[in-house]
Amino acid sequence: MTDAATFTNAGLTPHIDQFNVELTANVNATDWSTSAAAALIRLNASVQSNSDGGKNLVVIIMDALVAMFTLMLTVIAALGVLSMVVQDTRERVHDMGIFKALGMTPQQTIAMVLTSVTLTGLIAGLIGVPIGVAVEKATLSPMGHAIGRHLPPNVTHVYTAGLLLALLAAGVVIALLGALLPAGWAARSRTATALRTE
């Protein structure tokens, strides 16, 4: 996707098969689409309205790829937490045996393990969210300008306070998900076995 002059300068004839039209606020989208369709019918062209929020196949595929990539990153992050908590739990198994001998219940053991990763997840969110937003801001507009497009605010300004809080909470949630398995293992471990472990 580039400016038509790029083709002309290269001695090529640009083939244009689509025009994207952004209407001003005082124009009725339905009336404009109807009149444009009537004018374009003799050119064997049509009008496709996007006012209903419908997405074309390319956008649907891109959304699916982003969702899959996000899921993969979440799983990788959770596996990283799992590895860290397993190692930490194995190193502290003797201490947990002492706590159990003093009366700590399995639920309290799970709560202790999960609490130990909550701060890590919160710090990860506090560091990762601003960096992610900054990288997105630094790359999105230049990418649009590179193809000769001015991206509208509904594309470039998508971070609301609620979304930022949800992204921040995601760090804690991923940490807790990654710690569930070792927390269950720690809760099920026998006190005598834990006390004999060095």
Please report the pLDDT score of residue 130 as a whole number.
92
Cβ atoms within 10 Å of 84's Cβ, excluding its own:
17
Q: Is the distance from CB of 101 to CB of 190 less than 8 angstroms?
A: no
> Mean pLDDT over all residues of the chain?
81
- Residue 183, classified by CB atoms within 10 Å of its CB into exposed (0-12), middle (13-18) or buried (19+), is buried
Quickly state the pLDDT bin for 131 (edges 50, 70, 90): very high
Name the token pair of 103: 């009366």
- Domain borders along the chain are 1-54, 56-196
DSSP labels, 165-176: HHHHHHHHHHHH
Residue 81 burial (CB < 10 Å; 0-12/13-18/19+)?
Answer: buried
Q: Kindly state the DSSP code that residue 43 receives in the 8-state scheme.
A: G
| pLDDT exceeds cutoff 60 at 54 | no
The arithmetic mean of pLDDT across residues 149-173, rounded, is 83
- 3-state SS, residue 102: coil
pLDDT, tens digit, 9 for 90 and up, residues 62-97? 889 989 998 998 889 888 888 888 787 777 776 777
User: pLDDT tens across 164-176, in order?
Assistant: 899 889 888 888 8
Full-prediction pTM beyond 0.75? no
CB 122 within 8 A of CB 171: yes
The DSSP symbol for 11 reads T
Which whole-number Å values give the CA distances from 165 to 39, 47, 161, in the listed order?
Answer: 48, 40, 6
Cα–Cα distance measured from residue 180 to residue 111, given in angstroms and rounded to the nearest whole number: 10
